[in-house]
Structure 1
Amino acid sequence: MQGNGTASTITGRFPPFHRWDRSFFLGATLAIWTVLVAGFGYDLVTRARLGMLDFPWIVHLHALVYTGWIVLLAMQVGLVRTRRLALHRRLGRLGALLIPAMIVLGPATAIVVRVTAPHPVWQELAFMGTQFANVLGAGAVLIAGLLTVRHPSTHKRLMIMGTIGLTEPGFGRLLYPTLYAWFGEGYLPYYLETYAGTLVLVLAAGGYDLATRHRLHPAWALSAVWIVANQCLGTWLFYEPWWLRWMAALTGH
């Protein structure tokens, strides 16, 4: 393993393995879990105190599917770490079911929640652009990850990066109020308030490759550009009057 990495460095190819990889991908998975559990846990506690735990049925289905995905991710990382690759490949088939379900349920849940809300404020309707862009960005990366299972170094980076793209709701529940108090309104402030946490994880993943290989993996570079581009799309849509009108019409408001 060490010899392959050295030879790849000399010839200019990206070394597929490094002795720290197993620890890094475990740490990345734990970071994703921490953000999502802390963010949604804080939100549920706050809602419970306010007596606001009555959700449409699709919210529960959405939570089940998305939780299923991060559980599957943790299991897959653990199976690779313990070298149980045959079971890892078999369980990977669940990803082919969960990822399309997440891509459909993300926007569908956002729409139903706004439809059933009695009087949503304009920010809630405009925020649907951010929600749709998040799903588009993360979903495309995860699908690419499914299609590259025969290339492990690419596959595992795309699966982690795609899941990082889904962390905005967790970070938002934890950081948005504080960051909004600091930065206020505007395109750049909104981007930082909404995506700062996710962006840190994206950059950390690239920083790991630079630290261990002294170069960036193409899968990281392409997925990072795609995720950030969709974040910029969500930021732009939030302030577009025509988007607000579309979402108001779509949700009956």
Structure 2
Amino acid sequence: MAYGFLVIAVVGFSTTFFVPLAKGAFRAPPVIYVHGALLFGWLLFFIAQATLIRKCRFLTHRQLGIAGVVLSVGIVISGVLVGLHATRRDLAAGGDDFVLGQFVNILIEMFLFGALVAAAIAFRRHGESHKRLLLLATISALAPAWLRLRHLFPGVPEPFVTFSLLADSLLLVAIARDWISLKRVHPVYIWVGGTMVLVHVVELLAITSAPWLQLSRFLLG
């Protein structure tokens, strides 16, 4: 799944980042580059950590864990700054209530990612919970890549809803693996994963609601 995550990120950001960057047509504030580098750093870190466990190099895995802490903190901070920049930019260009409400969603997603990583650190001595919490954190972090697939598939109806649901469908793959291999589903997937999906559903339903818009206006000043 770690390699699959990297593929999703590369394909998702191909039209809005990699291809324009290769053509010399991509221009953005430094924080965009920093956030992108941190996110792809996280995906490479995730692959490395999974590989180390498969090779039974547990000490190296634990030592490398500090890099994950640094990456996750950087992702949350830069993610908030990117959300602030993108929201102000799009509102200045005539953005609607959807753009305004999405800022709250961005903040929630950054908090959710940070909380899942923090929980994984707290359960680092419980390998079965630890790895599943990090898997959920990475699924959550991939949502922007999924949403950018709308540029490759413009005919998809309601792209924000459709690709958000596809992003969370990765949890079903993880659940299926548990069921096939262990004949049971780990509680982390049921309770924490279920809560993650519920949060995403609330975001979809509330993005243009009055409380969301009021909170966004307050936070944006």
**TM-score clears 0.5:** yes
State the TM-score, normalizing by the size of structure 1: 0.76
Deviations 1:115-137 (A, max 9, x none): 34532411322222332232233
Structure 1 portions without partners, runs of 5+: 1-27
The answer for the alignment partner of 1:90 in structure 2 is 63
Q: Structure 1 residue runs of 4+, over 6 Å off?
A: none
**Which of 202, 210, 216 is residue 171 of structure 2 equivalent to?**
202
Cα distance in 2 between the residues matched to 1:49 and 1:141: 34
Residues 1:29 and 2:9 are matched in the alignment: no
Cα gap change, 1:157 to 1:246, in 2 (>3 Å): closer
1:133/1:233 contact within 8 Å kept = no
1:85, distance to aligned residue in structure 2 (A): 1.2
**Which of 90, 96, 99 is residue 124 of structure 1 equivalent to?**
99
Cα gap change, 1:226 to 1:104, in 2 (>3 Å): farther
**Which of 161, 172, 197 is residue 136 of structure 2 equivalent to?**
161
User: What SS class does the counterpart of residue 165 from structure 1 fall into?
Assistant: helix
Cα gap change, 1:236 to 1:89, in 2 (>3 Å): same
The answer for the alignment partner of 1:44 in structure 2 is 17
Cα gap change, 1:52 to 1:127, in 2 (>3 Å): farther
User: What SS class does the counterpart of residue 150 from structure 1 fall into?
Assistant: coil
- The residue identity in structure 2 corresponding to 1:87 is T
Trace 1:225-244 onto structure 2 (pairs within 5 A). 225-244=194-213
2:15/2:151 contact within 8 Å kept = no
Trace 1:133-152 onto structure 2 (pairs within 5 A). 133-152=108-127
- More off after superposition, 41-50 vs 73-82: 41-50
1:97, distance to aligned residue in structure 2 (A): 1.9
- More off after superposition, 129-138 vs 209-218: 129-138
User: What SS class does the counterpart of residue 55 from structure 1 fall into?
Assistant: coil
- The residue identity in structure 2 corresponding to 1:39 is G
State the TM-score, normalizing by the size of structure 2: 0.86
Cα distance in 1 between the residues matched to 2:140 and 2:72: 13
Cα distance in 2 between the residues matched to 1:77 and 1:46: 29
Structure 2 portions without partners, runs of 5+: none
Residues 1:108 and 2:81 are matched in the alignment: yes
Cα distance in 2 between the residues matched to 1:51 and 1:127: 29
- The residue identity in structure 1 corresponding to 2:81 is A
Cα distance in 2 between the residues matched to 1:124 and 1:49: 28
User: What SS class does the counterpart of residue 53 from structure 1 fall into?
Assistant: coil
Q: Which has the larger radius of gyration?
A: 1
Cα distance in 1 between the residues matched to 2:217 and 2:23: 27
- The residue identity in structure 1 corresponding to 2:109 is N
2:13/2:145 contact within 8 Å kept = yes
